[in-house]
Structure 1
Amino acid sequence: MLPLPVSLAVRKQFSSTRTRRSTKDVLLTRSRVTNLGLLLLACFAAFSFVLNLGWYFFADARAVEVPLVIERPRLPYTPPTSVLDTIQRDETLSALTHLIVVAGHAIWKGNDAAEILDEDQWILEIYQRGGGRVNAFVQHIMTGAQLAAEDANSLLIFSGGQTRPSSTTTEAESYMRIAVLSDVLPISPPVSGLDVTVRATTEDYALDSFQNLLYAIARFHEYTNRYPENITVVGYEMKRRRFTELHRAALRWPESRFRYIGVDVDGEEAVKAKDGEIMNGYLPYTFDLYGCHGLLLSKRRARNPFHRFHPYYTSSPELATLMNWCPGPAEGGQTTVYGGPLPWDHLDNVSSGDT
């Protein structure tokens, strides 16, 4: 049954009473949501709306005002005792200041010096067969060894990883083996009754030319407990611009302390190789300075069939953030040069003749 309608008199009485109620009474009147609560919600919504408008319209200004923060490595870092206990460096190593890098390109699988130039004893890509490529590899090794022999303050480093699925060794180790069998390794005479020091070693993790240079610097530090003051790179003449204009600049290495020695293949093969270098090497690095995106990254992956990774975060922790630097849109683009501190920053203010 429906309730009876309220009389007109009662309605008038109720209306009269309601008009006399204070604003406070109205706000505190109980309901599903009190009037006071409704007002508070409305104020909060208005405040939130204004705040969001501010964030939206002033986002660009905040982006300009907040500087780019570059992560710094936690220094100083000390390798574990279990590692340090195995290291006993000859005192002559502390005097070495000149890094000579020979970048690897293939793997020699032989053990007979008479077979060094035999292509069948090399693990080669199809494009590396014929045209004198193997002879160029050997000349790189011999040139690097000769330069190291002429400078008693130098350390020769053959650089290159285990890049071929069919190999049991690295590019660097195979180059070192050729140098040993050819009896061309630089040797320092005994000091204070200690054994002779072979001023040559390998860097077994690099997967491309940029890593050849960066990892060779890290390996120099790992071997000598100091960073080099001068660098000489031995490689293809056609790769000169890649190293001198791009890789050196990416590492902020002083131009006055960097030298490149080019040894190329001869004849028609040299022209083909130069064209290939521009399209497959130089130009890609001009768009991806640190080689960590797209095409260049895919090459590194293809050259790492055994899933190796380097030890230089431990032995050269000062280079950790540089080795991790992979600029993208957030950093200003793929060609943004690393801006953090580097162990060789002081060399910019020291002339080559002062050291």
Structure 2
Amino acid sequence: MLPAPVSFARRGGFRRSSNALNQRRIDVLLSRARITNLGVLLLCAATALSLLYNISYWFSSRGVSNGDSQAPWSITDTIERDASVQHLSHLVVVPGHAIWKGANPTVIMNEDDWILESYQKGGGRVNAFYEHIKGGVKLALEDPRALLVFSGGQTRPASTFTEADSYLRLAIESSLLPQGFLRATTENYALDSYQNLLYSIARFHEYVGRYPNYISVVGYEMKRERFEDVHRKALRWPPERFQYIGIDMEGHSGIAMQGELTNALIPYRKDLYGCHPPLSTKRRNRNPFARYHSYYTSAPELAGLMDYCPETGSNAIFDRPLPWDYL
């Protein structure tokens, strides 16, 4: 006897059961895929967070905020500025011209106690150097907001002193400044007058933690035009916040003025930043000990200006933002 045929309803039910089973299997497979995708996303997120953390740690372990600058912690950890200098706003610059190697301040005018270029011997230049020092000290003592910066590098092979160190030492040895006077310091890397001004601004920031509001320069009267109209212009320092105090040699000679025009003023007018020969050659010749400054770290806002060198003949003024644009 043949079995009874399966009814249409039962066949439909079988199909529905089979379809339901297949659907459950698909759902399970899809569910596992979703879990797998979620796991991948979580793993990627964890990796990204870990990477960000490590980058953050790397930077924080190597650089800490220091006023407006960014310096390695190994440097900033050694610096605690005295409260008496943190309010200073007036930079007084005395550019160096020679190195005093003497020990007796009562014979300052003895040229044998100075390391001089041949053209600096005779003519009262040593007396002018001392008058520059006195003029800078006078400004600093009269203005409690002033920081006196003697500027000049280790320019002579015959001495391990910098020009700036010798000027400050002479100021103290001759009792112009008291021992431990915190409102006087040195800038030990400048190799010419442009760097005397620029690096002294950087040194002010390094020493005080901010940039100056006002600048005074004490130097030769015959260099007034060089500082007021050339260097100040190259740095875009506002003229209303700049003064130059000129003190020349007794019996100021036309030969010295001609030397200023030929060897400095005219070349600087053609090359504002002193980065092409003959001015760049002078810098190399004045750096026998291969010294270089710390200001990329302590005054990083000036890095672009310190590196700026327009093409020969261009003489374009540096046009990127500078800290004193906002003072």
Deviation digits for residues 101-137 of structure 1, max 9, x if unmatched? Answer: 0000000101111121110000000100000000000
Deviation digits for residues 220-255 of structure 1, max 9, x if unmatched? Answer: 000000000000000000000000000000000000
| Alignment of 1:171 onto 2:163 | yes
Shift of 1:93: 1.3
Look up the equivalent residue of 1:142 and give its one-letter code: K
Q: Secondary structure at the match of 2:70?
A: coil
Query: Is the CA contact 2:217–2:244 (under 8 Å) kept in the aligned structure 1?
Result: yes
Q: Secondary structure at the match of 1:305?
A: coil
CA pair 178-100 structure 1, distance change in 2 beyond 3 A: same
CA pair 203-342 structure 1, distance change in 2 beyond 3 A: same
Look up the equivalent residue of 2:102 and give its one-letter code: G
Q: Distance in 2 between matches of 1:313 and 1:295?
A: 25
Shift of 1:197: 5.1
| Alignment of 1:270 onto 2:239 | no
1:86 counterpart residue number: 78
Look up the equivalent residue of 2:235 and give its one-letter code: L
Shift of 1:94: 1.6
| Alignment of 1:150 onto 2:133 | no
Picking from 307, 321, 326, the partner of 1:341 is: 321
Query: Is the CA contact 1:289–1:334 (under 8 Å) kept in the aligned structure 2?
Result: no
Q: Secondary structure at the match of 2:160?
A: coil
User: Which structure 2 residue ranges, 5 or more long, are not aligned?
Assistant: 1-66
Shift of 1:274: 0.8
Query: Is the CA contact 1:253–1:344 (under 8 Å) kept in the aligned structure 2?
Result: yes
Picking from 279, 283, 298, the partner of 2:266 is: 283
Q: Secondary structure at the match of 1:89?
A: coil
1:201 counterpart residue number: 185
Shift of 1:77: 5.0
| Alignment of 1:297 onto 2:280 | yes
Query: Is the CA contact 2:102–2:114 (under 8 Å) kept in the aligned structure 1?
Result: yes
CA pair 310-334 structure 1, distance change in 2 beyond 3 A: farther
Alignment of 1:250-261 (within 5 A): 250-261=234-245
Picking from 97, 100, 104, the partner of 1:108 is: 100
Shift of 1:183: 1.6
Query: Is the CA contact 1:109–1:121 (under 8 Å) kept in the aligned structure 2?
Result: yes
Relative to the length of structure 1, the TM-score reads 0.72
Query: Is the CA contact 1:291–1:297 (under 8 Å) kept in the aligned structure 2?
Result: yes
| Alignment of 1:216 onto 2:196 | no
Q: Secondary structure at the match of 2:230?
A: helix
Relative to the length of structure 2, the TM-score reads 0.78
1:180 counterpart residue number: 172
Alignment of 1:33-72 (within 5 A): none
Q: Distance in 1 between matches of 2:240 and 2:178?
A: 25
Q: Distance in 2 between matches of 1:334 and 1:157?
A: 32
| Alignment of 1:137 onto 2:136 | no
Picking from 303, 306, 316, the partner of 2:299 is: 316
Deviation digits for residues 293-342 of structure 1, max 9, x if unmatched? Answer: 0100000000000000000000000000000001116xxx4411000110
CA pair 162-334 structure 1, distance change in 2 beyond 3 A: farther
Shift of 1:271: 1.8
Q: Secondary structure at the match of 2:216?
A: strand
Look up the equivalent residue of 1:109 and give its one-letter code: K
Q: Distance in 2 between matches of 1:320 and 1:111?
A: 38
Query: Is the CA contact 1:176–1:201 (under 8 Å) kept in the aligned structure 2?
Result: yes
